[in-house]
A and B are shown apart, each in its own frame.
Chain A
Amino acid sequence: MRRKKLLSNCLLVAAVLILWGIASVLSARDAAASEDKLITVLNPAITEKLAERVPLVAPRLDTLEGKTLYLVDMNYEGFGLTPVLKEMQAWFAENMPDVKTILKLKSGNYISDDPALWKEIAEKGGNGVIMGVAG
């Protein structure tokens, strides 16, 4: 009787293990199928429209010799000329003395236009502008 009960228990355990094994195989196969399943999703990206091009119209200079360059500070700090442009002016004086440089501070803040200055530079015969600088 006891042997019969033991045998019955063993068979029950074996059956459970077999069923568990089958379930595991099926589950793994489903998971693999799920991982390989192709999904279609909407594209979040935006199609950017490019801005109208503003061409460079001023021909480049053939040489800087004898030319006048304006070094224009865009007034990032709002309180005066940036030392780096003064240093650049010193560089020209030392390395290219034939180039005349004039320091100018743009009026308004660093994102505002200054048409009066552009007019002044054009009328006074400026040949080129180097503009900077932020921070």
Chain B
Amino acid sequence: MSLANKNVVSFGINAHFKYSTGMPLRWVGMPYPFTGLNKEMLKTYLEGKDNVSGKPVMEAIIDGLTRPLIAEEKRTGIPEEAAVEPRFLPPDTEDNLQRLFKERRWTDYNPFILPTEERVAAMLKGTSHRPDEVVKTGAGTFGTTRPFTVEKVAVIAVMAGAKPEYLPVILALASQVPYADSTTSNASMVLVNGPIRNEIGMNSGIGVLGPNAEANSVIGRAMVLIHKIIQGYQEGVSGFSSLSNPLLYNNVTIAENEEALPVGWEPFHVLMGHRPEESVLTILMGWNFVNCSGSVVEHYPPQFLMRDFMGVLAATGSATIIMDPSVADLLRNSQGFQTKEALGDWLSRNAEVRAGTYWANSIASGMMGPLGKQGLEPYASWRKASNDTLIKHFPNPQNIRTIVAGGRTASVWFITDFMAGRGVSIDYWR
């Protein structure tokens, strides 16, 4: 923001953390949250202590506006790098190294394999890319510059327990950092399409969402380590997800059961513009992951229950349905949905929620509310609607997507509010 250039003293109130991206703003941190509190409680906050300085809040604010600037706050240019990390760690015993990795938070706290030079060299045989090739530069939370190489990804692949043939998938995964983080307990999903699914033994069939296949488990775990080590995400330091999300243990790492798609239903990556023979990795992010609670029943076709359950998915206007092939067959052959897009179109026209419920979601109100205020439809009309007015909160059918996976042992499905990136080539990293 350019406020500082207007020669106006600026001062931010926020949670307790220091500047780390080059902006030496002065902060005051009050207790959290502010939302929904009465006047007395808010007054208590203002009369309480600043989380940053320990002074009374208002005294700290006045101090921030009046205390003369110090040299550190007037610095310009690019400061020297943070401590340069050597390629190798000093030799040590296995126990000590395991302890060190935990102390530095280079772990998900499950047992991991130490990345010796031999193991990393063996892992690098899984790609034709040079070890010193930079995969990405802007990799950190808050967009900080954390350049990393193919070798660093191979190190993490070793730690996660990957086979060399998984490395192209893990490199594609790493190329997508920074992953989305929010204090609001979001999660990620990793979807793999194309020939590599079967080449490396990814599960797309029975038990696909559970811990039932080495490739799914290890690749999902690699994402956890990439997030922590490459992106530098540390809960309570660079991220503040109060509840976090159990889906982050494995990031819902699955392959689509392309072989089980009904006639006319295209694979996920093809609908995103890729060729069928390409191997593609797609990262999705969202908050809600809702089970259909039992299997499909005769007296209420699945699209109706999907429509009903979409009432709780009010965040972004995006939905992703993960359905067993038996459900896909039923929707196509008995309910007439000849394509995935036809299902998305029907759900877009039929899913509804009360306007009050929609705007009660802070993701929707924070992001779509201002758009409505600026006159953009449908948000402008939704803002004016009474709380009880039903609105069709998935206005874009293209944002309702379907993944077919599972083993036909039950006609089950999950509906989520996960939204997808376009997907990236895994073949590039072979």
A interface, CB within 8 angstroms of B: 35-64, 69-70, 75-79, 82-84, 87-88, 91, 95, 107-110, 112-115, 118-119, 121-122, 126-135
Contacts and interface: CB of A to CB of B under 8 A. Distances in A.
A44 B8 contact: no
Contact of A43 (B77, B78, B80, B88): B88
Nearest to B89: A43
A128 B8 contact: yes
B370 A129 contact: no
A57 B23 CA distance: 11
B13 A43 contact: no
B88 A41 contact: yes
B369 A79 contact: yes
Contacts of B152: 44, 46
Given A60-B65, A131-B10, A135-B35, 12 more contacts: A42-B87, A43-B155, A49-B144, A55-B4, A57-B7, A58-B8, A88-B46, A109-B371, A110-B366, A132-B14, A135-B32, A135-B183
B151 A122 contact: no
Contact of A52 (B10, B22, B97): B22
B268 interface: no
Contact of A48 (B45, B116, B146): B146
A58 B7 contact: yes
B374 to A, nearest CB: 8
17 contacts: A39-B97, A42-B117, A44-B225, A46-B139, A46-B146, A46-B148, A50-B81, A55-B24, A58-B4, A78-B365, A78-B373, A79-B369, A83-B39, A84-B37, A107-B373, A118-B1, A134-B14
A60 B94 contact: no
B151 to A, nearest CB: 7
Contacts, number: 260
Contacts of A42: 87-89, 115-117, 120, 151, 155
B140 interface: yes
A19 B4 CA distance: 81
Nearest to A68: B8
Contacts of B62: 64
A91 B43 CA distance: 8
A132 B93 contact: no
A58 B10 contact: yes
Interface residues of B, number: 98
A60 B68 contact: yes
B263 interface: no
A27 B292 CA distance: 55
Contact of B65 (A40, A61, A112): A61
Of the listed residues B8, B76, B80, B95, the one surrounded by the most CB atoms of chain A closer than 10 A to its CB is B8
Contacts of B264: none
A131 B81 contact: no
B366 A78 contact: yes
B370 A51 contact: no
Given A39-B114, A58-B9, A79-B365, A46 B147 contact: yes
Contacts of B333: none
Interface of B: 1-15, 21-25, 30, 32-35, 37, 39, 42-43, 45-46, 58, 61-62, 65-69, 73-89, 91-95, 97, 101, 104, 106, 114-117, 120, 139-140, 144-148, 151-152, 155-156, 159, 183, 225, 229-230, 232, 359, 362, 365-371, 373-374
**Minimum-distance CB pairs A-B, first 6:** A78-B369, A132-B13, A51-B22, A122-B6, A49-B145, A128-B9
B39 A129 contact: no
A109 B116 CA distance: 47
B417 to A, nearest CB: 18
A35 B6 contact: no
| A48, A75, A122: residue with the most chain B Cβ atoms closer than 10 Å | A48
Given A38-B91, A78-B368, A83-B37, A50 B78 contact: yes
Contacts of B75: 53, 55
B34 A83 contact: yes
A115 B39 CA distance: 31
Nearest to B63: A60
A103 to B, nearest CB: 14
Contact of A53 (B11, B24, B95): B24
B41 to A, nearest CB: 9
Contact of A109 (B73, B145, B366): B366
Contact of B9 (A84, A115, A127): A127
A15 to B, nearest CB: 36
Contact of A51 (B21, B80, B362): B21
A130 B64 CA distance: 10
Contacts of A128: 8-11, 65
Which of B21, B35, B76, B151 gathers most chain A CB within 10 Å? B35
B111 to A, nearest CB: 15
Contacts of B65: 60-61, 64, 69, 128, 130
